[in-house]
Amino acid sequence: MSVPFLRVEALHVTYRVRRRLVEAVKGVSFTIHRGQCLGVVGESGSGKSSLARAVLGLEPEAAHGSVEWDGYALSAQNRRERLAFCRKAQMVFQDPMGSLNPRLKVGAALAEVLKVHGLVKTRKEAFRQAAQWLETVGLDAAYADRFPHELSGGQRQRVNLARALCVGAEFLIADEPVSALDVSVQAQILNLLQDLQRQRGITWMLIGHDLAVMRYLADHLLVMKNGEVVECAPAEQVFMHPAHPYTRELLASVPHVDRGLARRCAL
């Protein structure tokens, strides 16, 4: 059996809020193999985002446990390895506006990222590559000349994806990437994520509430409740034979609109 792309063992995330301890993640373990999509579902406050941040090493104070990338412990990375890892593993958030600089045109923003990471030599090359990345995520290169506020929510989310991809992302954590978007646009973005997985072999962790969508996008599903994993199995198995009462409850509450969205994904 090949080494998993990501192996997480007994991961805990405990925040200190004044004198109180908040146990957001309580001993979570799972693996993801290269090119696969792990769906993470669970009610609000169940620890999904905390888990995601800990997996990327963004909670150094609060997180304890073992996270291994390609067989190497995240905690053992030196500075150079850490920088390389930051390029390879990226996060895409729910609010695409919040993660873009409002004062920079989209092309300039992407060009800057490419320059900061030393991926281009000249300004001209940076802008040329920026335009190409926009096309990769389904935007006309002319959008390079727009400010973030001159784009729709779905277009901004595409720019965010371009930004993650342009530095060589191999792993994406999408934390409710479509919840802030219109239902009609949600399907387009989810389709784009799936294309990226298939065409570029991107491995990803998709955090969301929409179980009907997860069924089509996720290879494995991890169901969280109160910081713990109640079920982790191939997605189809979870849907056909949910083992835990909580999962059955979640499945029973899939709203009608989500089924429509899954259909529109044309998967």
Ligand X SMILES: Nc1ncnc2c1ncn2[C@@H]1O[C@H](COP(=O)(O)OP(=O)(O)OP(=O)(O)O)[C@@H](O)[C@H]1O
Q: Identify residue 155 by its one-letter amino acid code.
A: Q
How far, in Å, CA of 67 to CA of 56, rounded?
9
Nearest to 239 by CA among 205, 212, 208: 212
Contact residue for Mg ion among 36, 46, 49, 203 (CB under 5 A): 49
- Closest approach, Cβ 247 to ligand X, in A, equals 15
Q: Is 15 a residue that touches ligand X (CB under 6 A)? A: yes
For Mg ion, give the closer residue by CB, 42 or 148.
Answer: 42
* 28 DSSP β-pair partners: 11
Q: Rule CB under 6 A: which of 197-236 touch ligand X?
A: none
Q: Record the tokens describing residue 57, joined without a space.
A: 């090493």
Long-range interactions of 60-63: CB distance < 8 A, separation 24+: 62/13, 62/14, 62/15, 62/16, 62/24, 63/11, 63/12, 63/13, 63/25
Burial label for 198, CB within 10 Å (0-12, 13-18, 19+), is exposed
Q: Is 86 a residue that touches ligand X (CB under 6 A)? A: no
Partner that binds at residue 50, options Mg ion, ligand X, none, CB closer than 5 to 8 Å by kind: ligand X
Q: How many chain residues touch ligand X (CB under 6 A)?
A: 12
Q: Is 17 a residue that touches ligand X (CB under 6 A)? A: yes
Partner that binds at residue 17, options Mg ion, ligand X, none, CB closer than 5 to 8 Å by kind: ligand X
Binding mask 23-52 for ligand X (x = CB under 6 A): -x-----------------x-xxxxxxx--
User: Would you tell me which residues interact with Mg ion (CB under 5 A)?
Assistant: 49
User: Would you tell me which residues interact with ligand X (CB under 6 A)?
Assistant: 15, 17, 22, 24, 42, 44-50
